[in-house]
Chains A and B, each alone.
Chain A
Amino acid sequence: SQTIHQWPATLVQPVGSPLSLECTVEGTSNPNLYWYRQAAGRGLQLLFYSVGIGQISSEVPQNLSASRPQDRQFILSSKKLLLSDSGFYLCAWQGLQETQYFGPGTRLLVL
């Protein structure tokens, strides 16, 4: 069966520091992968999606970037965090019937 992992689970970072969040998927090949951000009490905002290695589409201009160095690995990065980057970051993969499956998420607090 397929499994999606995200780490770390929680992160507290100072403003201006770099960021790297990792997402890996097991049990499937060449999945579509997604990064979402959820602000407190809000819906999910699509940040990036990828249909293959090295293929990244950005939905929202911001100081975040994404990379897909391997088939089942998706990384979200920032060179300098802003206060507004705080939130709940969710990785998802797209499976059969185009159903999306989500990882457990990373709670990021920028101080």
Chain B
Amino acid sequence: GIQVEQSPPDLILQEGANSTLRCNFSDSVNNLQWFHQNPWGQLINLFYIPSGTKQNGRLSATTVATERYSLLYISSSQTTDSGVYFCAVEKNFNKFYFGSGTKLNVKP
């Protein structure tokens, strides 16, 4: 299967700070998504971004498919941004591979 590595594993921020989360993957992919898992376990899709750049409010993501990495930017972080951020990729046959996540703690 595809190896997906996320960094950093843990991140502590002061409210209002900016951050960049990284996802590296070991093979070419057809599908890449970023998810946020809140403290209650609910996973919410943030971006579908197999290539290019997208923005949604304070969040944006960039995937450089040729270099096999994706970045998630969080600007002006809020306490509600806390949780775990996952990157997931799919090459074919509907098989999705998740990274181990970045656990973000935003302090007031």
- Quick one: which of B33, B41, B48, B100 has the most chain A CB within 10 A? B41
A100 touches B33 (CB 8 A): yes
B48 touches A59 (CB 8 A): no
Q: Considering the chains assembled together, what is the distance between the CA atoms of A94 and B48 in angstroms?
A: 12
Q: Does more than half of chain A's interface fall in helix, strand or loop, or is it mixed?
A: strand
Q: Considering the chains assembled together, what is the distance between the CA atoms of A32 and B93 in angstroms?
A: 11
Q: Which of B42, B90, B99 lies in contact with A98, CB distance below 8 A? A: B90
Q: Report A-chain residues with C-beta under 8 Å of the C-beta of B41.
A: 88, 104-105, 107
Is B73 part of the binding interface, using a Cβ–Cβ cutoff of 8 Å?
Answer: no
Is A74 part of the binding interface, using a Cβ–Cβ cutoff of 8 Å?
Answer: no
Using a CB–CB cutoff of 8 Å, the interface residues on chain B facing chain A are 30-31, 33, 35, 41-45, 48, 86, 88, 90, 93-101
